Amino acid sequence: MAKIKLALYWAASCGGCEIAQLQIGEKILKLIEVADIVFWPVAIDVKYKDVEAMPNQSIDVCLFNGAIRTSEQKHMAKMLREKSKVLIAYGACAYNGGIPGLANLYNRQMIFDRAYLETPSTLNNEKTIPQTKYQAPEGILTIPEFFDTVHSLAQTVDVDYIIPGCPPEERTTWLALESLIENKLPPRGTVISHNAKAVCDDCPRKKDVKKVTKFYRPFQIIPEPEICLLEQGLPCAGMCTRGGCGAPCPQANMPCTGCYGPVEGVTDQGSHFLSALASVIDSNDPDQIQKIIDDIPDPAGTFYRYTLPQSLLGRARIK
Amino acid sequence: MSWEPKIVGFLCNWCSYRGADLAGIARIHSAPNVRVIRVPCSTRVEPSFVLKAFRSGADGVLILGCHPGDCHYIEGNYKTMRRVPLLKKMLAQFGIEEERLRLSWVSASEGAKYASIVNDMTEKVRALGPLNLNNAGGKHGKD
């Protein structure tokens, strides 16, 4: 049997997905037995022009991580879609926009002003800001365009499967790779994970009545080790987040932040998180409710930490 | 053609919807800008409904429920009372002004109050202008 042709690419991401891919450990030898890696910028020296020269549909599977925020990433997403039979969104950024997607609370101008002019550690007297074209003595230099709005991979091209997580847990990555090796891929469009129910279903903490009179940030308390973190006032996204990760964060005293994306059947994870969190506030007095809400300094970043581009609003309105 | 504010109103079946009915029966004049959706309880209005209304072109969203203590389902309106301020705080981060979302309590006998809330909100949203989410950041949708 001919080997599977596998490509891996990174767009707007942190590099954590590459580490997650290597986390499968010695199982990578099993993967190499059946697959040839034809493109993987982090590890092998194959240029964009080499990918361009490949015939359409010649790559069997492409694992694409990262969101789309520049013209280069958009170009590569389109090219890899054309060249690949199966395109898999790997990780929270490709799936829902991820952490880079929080940039949608701003636009390019605001981000550039902050990054190149306003940050206290920046010394930029000439007020240099990246431009897509620059006339150097040697000729014209170009860099990709930076978009106002970050998009998920599925908002840019058609996606066949999704592997969730920031980064995906080793077990989730292997679940997908195994089904690929054994040629038992699930129906197209599946979000591949061990559990379609919420993270709470994976979480071994004891769950009882939820009534909260104060919300804490993780550094403010040392939680009791066996009781549900939400009951202790930590905003935990477990109830609105797809399980399958095995709930490692709550077991390490950190509330779930929602990286596996919404539970099956939900599209807008953040508004469900908001709804559930507000409902457990134990007060019927508007002033006290407001005081408890003040404990959550960044609602948008808390509720849409990994899903802002894919959410109902998609981005902030800049006046 | 001049712009008119579009307001989606989620009205609780047991109190506010009847209050709106009363306003109509009593022929109290109120602005025609609210599109009323009858819901079993104000807490049926998930935050995602509000976002979807804005996303679909609403310039304002009005949620009306029974007075605290009067909920047909005992404590539904208390849950709404907790969600709306948190939702408002988040909407501010999205550049959606606080006045575009309003929660008020209207009983079945408060037709006049219903009319005054609708008139007041319509004027406040009119003063804010169109929400225009489709041009939110310059470009929206597929870049």
Can you give the residue range of the structural domain that contains B124?
7-131
* Confidence grade of residue A183 (pLDDT, cut at 50, 70, 90): confident
Backbone angles phi, psi at A69, to 5 degrees: -130, -10
Query: Same domain for A258 and A212?
Result: yes
- Mutant choice from A239, A296, A313 vs B, greatest count of B C-beta within 10 A: A313
State whether A20 and A111 are in the same domain.
Answer: no
Classify residue A193: in a domain, yes or no: no
Residue A83 has pLDDT above 50, yes or no: yes
pLDDT at residue A131, rounded to an integer: 93
H-helix or E-strand containing A75? helix A71-83
Write the residue in A277, A289, A316 that is nearest to B137 by C-beta.
A316
Which CATH number covers residue A72?
A: 3.40.50.700
- For B35-90, how does the pLDDT look when each residue is reduced to its tens digit (9 = 90+)? 999 999 999 999 999 999 999 999 999 999 999 999 999 999 999 999 999 999 99
Asked if residue B138 is part of any domain, the answer here is no
Asked if residue A173 and residue A58 are part of one domain, the reply reads yes
The CATH number assigned to the domain holding B117 equals 3.40.50
Average the pLDDT over A90-96 and give the result: 97
Is pTM beyond 0.80 here?
yes
| Confidence bin at B135 (pLDDT 50/70/90) | low
Q: Are residues A52 and A155 in the same domain?
A: yes
- Asked if residues A57 and A26 have their Cβ atoms less than 8 Å apart, the reply is no
Identify from A70, A271, A298, A307 which residue to disrupt to test chain B contact, counting B C-beta atoms within 10 A and taking the largest count: A271
Packing angle, helices B16-25 and B111-128, rounded to 10: 100
pLDDT at A1: 65
Do both A49 and A156 map to the same domain?
Answer: yes
Asked whether residue B98 carries a pLDDT value surpassing 70, the answer given is yes
Contact pairs from chain A to chain B, CB under 8 Å: 114
Q: What is the mean pLDDT of residues A96-119?
A: 96
- Between B82, B95, B142, which is nearest A278 by CB? B82
Vertex B134: Cα angle to B131 and B138 (nearest 5): 100
Residue-wise pLDDT tens digits, B13-27: 999 999 999 999 999
Does the pLDDT of residue B139 top 90, yes or no?
no
Query: Is the CB of B46 less than 8 angstroms away from the CB of A271?
Result: yes
A contacts of B81 (beta carbons < 8 Å): 284, 286, 289
Which residues of chain A make contact with B46, given a CB cutoff of 8 A?
271-272, 275
Same-domain pairing of A53 and A80: yes
What does the pLDDT read at residue A319? 79
CB contact under 8 A, B89 and A299: yes
Q: What is the pLDDT of residues B102-122, one digit of tens each?
A: 999 999 999 999 999 999 999
**A12 plus A157 within the same structural domain:** yes
Q: Tell me: do A32 and A47 sit in the same domain.
A: yes
**pLDDT attached to residue B133:** 85
In this prediction, residue B140 carries a pLDDT of: 40
Residue B2 resides in a domain: no
If asked whether residues A136 and A167 sit together in one domain, one would say no
Residue B1 has pLDDT above 70, yes or no: no
pLDDT at B141: 41
Same domain, A158 and A33: yes
The total number of structural domains in chain B stands at 1
Q: Tell me what ipTM this predicted complex has.
A: 0.93
**Average pLDDT of the residues in A113-130:** 94
Q: Is A311 exposed, middle or buried (0-12, 13-18, 19+ CB in 10 A)?
A: buried
Whether residue B141 is contained in a domain is answered as no
Q: How do residues A226-269 score in pLDDT, each as one tens digit?
A: 999 999 999 999 999 999 999 999 999 999 999 999 999 999 99
Domain residues for A233?
A: 199-303
Q: What is the pLDDT of residue B134?
A: 72
pLDDT band at B142 (very low <50, low <70, confident <90, very high): very low
In this structure, the answer to whether residues A51 and A114 fall within a common structural domain is: no
Q: CB of B76 within 8 A of CB of B65?
A: yes
Q: Is the CB of residue B85 less than 8 Å away from at least one CB of chain A?
A: yes
Q: Which one of B8, B46, B48 would you mutate to disrupt binding with A, by most A Cβ within 10 Å of its Cβ?
A: B48
Residue of B97, B109, B140 lying closest to B17 (CA atoms): B109
Of A74, A104, A312, the CB nearest to B48: A312
In a domain? residue A236: yes
Closest alpha carbon to A196 in A205, A183, A186, A206: A186
The mean-pLDDT minimum among A19-33, A209-223, B83-97 falls in A19-33
Residue B35 sits at the chain A interface (C-beta within 8 Å) = no
Average pLDDT of chain B to the nearest whole number: 93
Q: How many domains does chain A have?
A: 3
For residue B28, count CB atoms less than 10 angstroms from its CB and return exposed for 0-12, middle for 13-18, buried for 19 or more: middle
In a domain, A156, yes or no: yes
B82, B132, B142 member nearest A155 (Cβ): B142
Q: Which residue has the tokens 């909260």?
A: A212
Q: Give residue-wise pLDDT tens across range B119-130.
A: 999 999 999 999
